[in-house]
Structure 1
């Protein structure tokens, strides 16, 4: 999802809960060429609202204790800090106040929710603005040393490891190794906790680039059918998710959709606003298999900022509730083991660990993935230059979803949008019904450029015109 703790996002969550899945009719609603919430004055009002929610007075623990009745207050205020990324002491101190509670005992669920938001925003600012938010380091280290919550420990360990690229962070590889050992000693069953296990695995993999398992033959994946008579959308990314990904589409007969004699394609951004890895809630989109089933309609302006004006394509991970049939001819969610998930892949890909991320993320409880646009201004997130490649500045990062281009001018007029193209293509191959599979995969390259149509085409019919 795009936002999690803003008022728009609270409405968006309610929207998803209330809105039934619509797996049959997938036609694109009429395009609104004018959107009042996209005008310059509306944009200014949106930023002003975030500034009000990030006002230093809202972080007074005596006035606003961390109780259930103040949970929305704190989550909205912490989210606003993440949006604005202010280079001021009060924002740092606000995060410190909440992070002090990662080692507290007898926390209530609402308090844990506030801490979840704080540690995610803290990771974002600590790893992307270390010169200002480097003072959060002791709180991450204290969490690693004393917190009993394995997810907070895992996020803290990941944040420390990620910050090592900055000399100012003063973190050596030997220190990271010692922290890993400490975590393993504090949690003797660490390998059974998915957050700890995948975090340690990710850190080790980043360190041992030369020993990484090479990506299997991409032709095998692109020509494979997870199930017969199903559409397949492939989203091909670079490991650096600051770079745009490329989506291509295969119809129910297993033929790639072409337009003007070349592969149909649409660019998407699969980066996390919070700079979190795939194995955390609100982290970047995991690699692997998703069930694509129906749409969530965008009926009005209530959640326009979060998702734009167009319908959202529903994606489901293994183990996620709400899906009609993850596997054709078998109602309900996928509930098999890893071996059953692997059988959905071509034989050459079954032991490739990165493609198992979707399975693991589903087991961790991640959910509500969508392909959607964005009604927010392209500069709404003030830390954005540190999050995405400048070439992608027109796209907004998300909290795990796949972000499509949607741009408005200062008068609120729609300039560009890719969701109609995506919805129409899916509707065409499904003959009025959106279902099938979406497969995300990172394709390494020495270049810092996005995957191209020509690059994809070379893995297909060598005689195809690109």
Structure 2
């Protein structure tokens, strides 16, 4: 029941003219109907119960990561989920990287404080950068003291002698050596980003997020010819959306919705049932897109991405601000397929959460959609 953002081929692509002509009646989402949702929820709960029934330390079919994903997705069985994570940690390094990633992501998102002692003991035995980074951020989330930061950094340097060329570990080193309050205090003026020319005649979409990204609010605005696009009544055109991955740790190890600059290359329809049938906008980040594609240029520039090439897209005041280079590091780490899309997920799973009524994803930007529970048509789509 994963709510990923990956796009399976083949898929339909949409022209601007097609998108402008669509109405909500053009889209059906059986998964969002009462019957469709119930069937999917029951299937996910069945997998959770299967995992809970396993003896401690036994997982021959590697079902624990999927069960933990479903626990977070449905927002159920949190106490049982903690026990599943604890059951998996003693032998975690005997499993492959994908399995480790699922367990550690759940630990970071839901159980950082409870699992930190076990994770600290196995940190030096995690041999892959992505999974090491998740474990490291879990420890930091539980204990952000100078001593813990130094422990993580020392362990990283011992395990990865070439950490200076690994994008995920470069980022980890930056974060652990930074004072977030000072970083935010030194942030360049936002107005410089808004006033900057990103390409003659090209519209720009800004996604404004709270620091923790766990809020659903009107944060996406279109900018054209140095002014915000406005609705017919004069209000600023904007789309409320959520940019929070599930698990939250995916922000660190898979660079979901990575900051800060990316380019829109088109629109399509995902085959992922939780994204739904309404068109998404597809963005690409540096490295994923060539320099020419990133700039929407007709030339065939095949020059490699560098810090200088990325900074050339930014206003002068932002070029030395290292948090804004996250997208370049993400591209170098292989991150791709960040979409701006709708949702068929029942937001009631997250009632009471700070991001309600938004629904999380595997890290894309998600706008709210309201689907008929009986007729399975889209009553209102604002994505």
TM-score by length of 1: 0.71
Aligned residues: 375
Match among 226, 229, 240 for residue 201 of structure 2:
229
Is 2:325 the partner of 1:356? yes
Q: 1:114 to 1:181 in 2, by over 3 A?
A: closer
Q: 1:153 to 1:93 in 2, by over 3 A?
A: same
Is 2:371 the partner of 1:408? yes
CA drift of 1:26 comes to 4.8
Counterpart contact for 1:321–1:333, Cα < 8 Å: no
Q: 1:138 to 1:41 in 2, by over 3 A?
A: same
Is 2:123 the partner of 1:144? yes
Q: 1:78 to 1:322 in 2, by over 3 A?
A: farther
Q: Distance in 2 between matches of 1:98 and 1:200?
A: 27
Q: Distance in 2 between matches of 1:409 and 1:18?
A: 27
Q: Distance in 2 between matches of 1:333 and 1:21?
A: 26
Q: 1:324 to 1:368 in 2, by over 3 A?
A: farther
Q: 1:409 to 1:270 in 2, by over 3 A?
A: same
Structure 2 gaps, min length 5? none
Moved over 4 A (4+): 20-26, 57-64, 321-324, 331-334, 412-415
For residue 155 of structure 2, give the secondary structure of its aligned residue in structure 1.
Answer: helix
Q: 1:34 to 1:284 in 2, by over 3 A?
A: closer
Tell me the equivalent position of 2:342: 373
CA drift of 1:180 comes to 2.7
Tell me the equivalent position of 1:312: 280
Q: 1:44 to 1:146 in 2, by over 3 A?
A: same
Counterpart contact for 1:143–1:153, Cα < 8 Å: no
Structure 1 gaps, min length 5? 1-5, 165-170, 420-466
Q: Distance in 2 between matches of 1:320 and 1:20?
A: 21
Q: Distance in 1 between matches of 2:304 and 2:14?
A: 23
Counterpart contact for 1:101–1:115, Cα < 8 Å: no
For residue 200 of structure 1, give the secondary structure of its aligned residue in structure 2.
Answer: helix
Q: 1:404 to 1:410 in 2, by over 3 A?
A: same
TM-score by length of 2: 0.84
Counterpart contact for 1:143–1:152, Cα < 8 Å: no
Tell me the equivalent position of 1:346: 315
Match among 81, 99, 104 for residue 114 of structure 1:
99
Counterpart contact for 1:285–1:401, Cα < 8 Å: yes
Counterpart contact for 1:154–1:196, Cα < 8 Å: yes
For residue 54 of structure 1, give the secondary structure of its aligned residue in structure 2.
Answer: helix
